[in-house]
Amino acid sequence: MQQEVLREAPAGKVSGYVCTLCGWQGRPKTRAKGSILIEIVLWLFFLVPGLIYSIWRLTTKDRVCRSCGSVAIIPAGSPRGRAMLGMRA
């Protein structure tokens, strides 16, 4: 498992995120909700529902853990994030 190095931001703040499930540290990736296959089918057969579904997918994105894909990530600088990293608050 490869982890990114968390950099110290100005004023002692830690930048990045921590996954509460697997402990991964670093920058999360962005994942669109929904299915690309459903989007393609809707565009092929129904123009208006395809457009609505595409707009919904573009506006509902989640930050997810790069390691396990979970949405249970928290900022590393938060009290719980610092506790997970074993740092002083």
Distance separating alpha carbons of residues 80 and 87, to the nearest angstrom: 10
> What is the rounded average pLDDT for all residues in the chain?
82
Residue with tokens 């991964």: 24
The residue length of the chain stands at 89
Residue 66 has pLDDT above 60, yes or no: yes
Give yes or no: residues 2 and 21 share one domain.
Answer: yes
Q: Give me the pLDDT at residue 88, please.
A: 54
Q: Give me the pLDDT at residue 81, please.
A: 86
Range of the domain at 41: 36-61
Contact call for residues 39 and 54 (beta carbons, < 8 A): yes
Element of type H or E holding 39? helix 36-45
Give yes or no: residues 21 and 42 share one domain.
Answer: no
Q: Give me the pLDDT at residue 51, please.
A: 92
Give yes or no: residues 76 and 56 share one domain.
Answer: no
Give yes or no: residues 56 and 44 share one domain.
Answer: yes
35-64: average pLDDT? 91
| Total domains, the chain | 2
pTM: 0.61
Give yes or no: residues 42 and 21 share one domain.
Answer: no
Give yes or no: residues 70 and 50 share one domain.
Answer: no
3-31: average pLDDT? 73
